Chain A
Amino acid sequence: MNHIKLSFAEPAWGSGQEIAFQGCIICDVLSFAIATAKKDQIWICHHIHPNIIAVALLKELAAVIIVGGGKPDPETVKRAEEEGIPLFVTGKQAYDVVKVIAAHDLDLAEEG
């Protein structure tokens, strides 16, 4: 398992916890995320509605990062906290976020 402190993003609830993760998925099509996301991945998306938490929960994802400056609905934050899903928000674009995550992904380093 890899670890990252998402200091470039604001936690939507709680304090900036360290995330244990394995890989990452970048996707705005919810059913595609359901079909392809793997347990413990960090999910990068632009959606702000509460359904992203339902998907994160179903797939047991490590965290959700809303990129591009979108502000989550209050219900999204409430549900994330209730379900214990780490939810982060950043004005950065997906590519810049992925670069930081990839630098902490030891599995990628092994793949060369």
Chain B
Amino acid sequence: MKKLSFTNGVFLGGLLFLYLPMLILIIYSFNSSRLVTVWAGWSTKWYLALLEDDQILGAIWMSLRIAFYSSTMAVVLGTMAAFVMTRFNKFRGRTLFSGMITAPLVMPDVIIGLSLLLLFVGMAQGFGWPAERGMLTIWIAHVTFSAAYATVVISSRLREVDRSVEEAAMDLGATPFKTFFIITVPAIAPALAAGWLLSFTLSLDDLVISSFVAGPGATTLPMVVFSSVRLGVSPKINALATLIIMAVSLAAFVTWYVLRRAEKRRLQQLRTDMEEVVEVPAYRPQPVINPVKQRKQRVGSQEKEEVPESVT
């Protein structure tokens, strides 16, 4: 058996550190005792209690709606910003523009929340809009910070898109607008999906910014969870946490499956392409024990080595 290297050992330890607390939370969500740390047998009663809690259900619905609308808008803004960042090298205010995209990535939540609240209060005082704080103000706040994340995800893909296809379409008479939707959007579709999902989870997750900009009418799920958790551990929240972890794991599994299939198809394609180009002779002397495995690794990691070196 292969010896476990130091880094692999740390990696496994780190994974345990990341997953054990969540695993224990899941197990204890089925605990029938009200005292959360004492085990008293299996039960699903906290899940049933969750279903009867109108406040939590209402907050889930509110959070899902805000997350859906804000991630959609964040992807629209993020695509525009990513296009500007990767395609327009010079315009007035470019430094300011890129600064306003990277700063929200690290800006502490309390600062963003307080500053947006003071803006909304000032605007309401100045010209009466927004008249009351609620879903709309939370939506604006979430769009603003998640658009920055969407921009980073989308621009990293946009940079790799082969621009000659876009230019060919324009040369053949397509308008920039049409070219964008027919050529560019399909090419960056995975990044658009990734940016949307990231924005969605960021919006669902936000507690601090929402707490600042929400009015009395709008309560999101993290706000309900926080006010309950502050008082201590509660079995109902364990059940809710388990459901959230399950939902995210399911979504991640689907993503993993799709990515893996795409990757396999890409490798297959690359291999057949290479074999056509290189025309590997059938009886070439092979110094390595497992040439197929080696070539596969080379294809996966270093694409620039397209032609295998001649064996001397």
Say if A and B assemble together: no
